[in-house]
A and B are shown apart, each in its own frame.
Chain A
Amino acid sequence: GQQLNQSPQSMFIQEGEDVSMNCTSSSIFNTWLWYKQDPGEGPVLLIALYKAGELTSNGRLTAQFGITRKDSFLNISASIPSDVGIYFCAGRLTGTASKLTFGTGTRLQVTL
């Protein structure tokens, strides 16, 4: 099936540092979503992107929908301990209104 390549797989950073992660695909997507998952919980939506080139912020988080429609990135500025978790990208292929494809996740650890 369709796969999204998400990188890096894991990151260890210090509090206050900026973080960047990305997702790439060989297929064209018409929607990109970024989710965060805390231990023992389901993924929670952070940012949704619907147009190529779109740049959207949510507090310290910024995400962009790549102009080729095959990639997206998420930046977190000035990381804090509660940013710890697994971040997933998800994409909706053109013509598949109901199904999302998920990346394999980026595990973020923040040290004080």
Chain B
Amino acid sequence: NAGVTQTPKFRILKIGQSMTLQCTQDMNHNYMYWYRQDPGMGLKLIYYSVGAGITDKGEVPNGYNVSRSTTEDFPLRLELAAPSQTSVYFCASSYRDRNSPLHFGNGTRLTVT
């Protein structure tokens, strides 16, 4: 019973490099989300998806891109990494029901130097 799985757990990037953070869930959830968590702060929504082929911006989408080709996977792409993107990134998923709580992965800690 894996739930929400994120890879990698840690990554160090140089400024200007690109990378993809992977997220997969095995709960057949329709909705998936990407949040970032900066030190001492709550979680800020980057992008979300209500189903395969559908994505939408959250509060802080600049510098990121997403795709949702399958129900299970929701990768987050950083094209030109910047120090401001140093953060812990959490992927989450939920059922379509508006009352459904979010289930989170264990996060990816990204440092951009």
What is the distance, in angstroms, from B2's C-beta to the closest C-beta of chain A? 13
One digit per residue, 1 when the CB lies within 8 angstroms of any chain B CB and 0 when it does not, for chain A 7-44 equals 00000000000000000000000110101000011111
**A contact residues around B106 at 8 Å (CB):** 40-42
One digit per residue, 1 when the CB lies within 8 angstroms of any chain A CB and 0 when it does not, for chain B 80-112 equals 000000000010101000110111111100000
Please determine whether B101 and A45 come into contact, CB atoms closer than 8 angstroms. Answer: yes
Assess whether A1 is interfacial by the CB under 8 Å rule. Answer: yes
Please determine whether A98 and B90 come into contact, CB atoms closer than 8 angstroms. Answer: no
A side interface size, CB within 8 A: 26
Q: Which residue of A lies closest to B4 (CB)?
A: A42
Of the candidates B48, B99, B103, the one whose C-beta lies within 8 Å of that of A99 is: B48
Assess whether A48 is interfacial by the CB under 8 Å rule. Answer: yes
Of the candidates B35, B48, B107, the one whose C-beta lies within 8 Å of that of A98 is: B48
**A contact residues around B44 at 8 Å (CB):** 1, 102
Assess whether B50 is interfacial by the CB under 8 Å rule. Answer: yes
- How many Cβ-Cβ contacts under 8 Å join chain A to chain B? 58
Given known contacts A40-B106, A41-B107, A92 and B98 CB-to-CB distance under 8 angstroms: yes
Please determine whether B99 and A48 come into contact, CB atoms closer than 8 angstroms. Answer: yes
Please determine whether A88 and B42 come into contact, CB atoms closer than 8 angstroms. Answer: yes
What is the distance, in angstroms, from A50's C-beta to the closest C-beta of chain B? 5
Of the candidates B4, B41, B48, the one whose C-beta lies within 8 Å of that of A104 is: B41
Q: How far is it, in angstroms, between the C-alpha of A50 and the C-alpha of B40 when the chains are bound?
A: 27
Assess whether B19 is interfacial by the CB under 8 Å rule. Answer: no
Q: Which residue of A lies closest to B41 (CB)?
A: A104
What is the distance, in angstroms, from B109's C-beta to the closest C-beta of chain A? 8
Q: Which residue of B lies closest to A50 (CB)?
A: B99
Pull 16 A–B residue pairs with CB atoms less than 8 Å apart, ordered by A: A33-B101, A35-B104, A40-B106, A41-B107, A42-B92, A42-B106, A45-B101, A48-B99, A88-B43, A98-B31, A98-B48, A98-B50, A98-B94, A98-B98, A102-B42, A105-B40
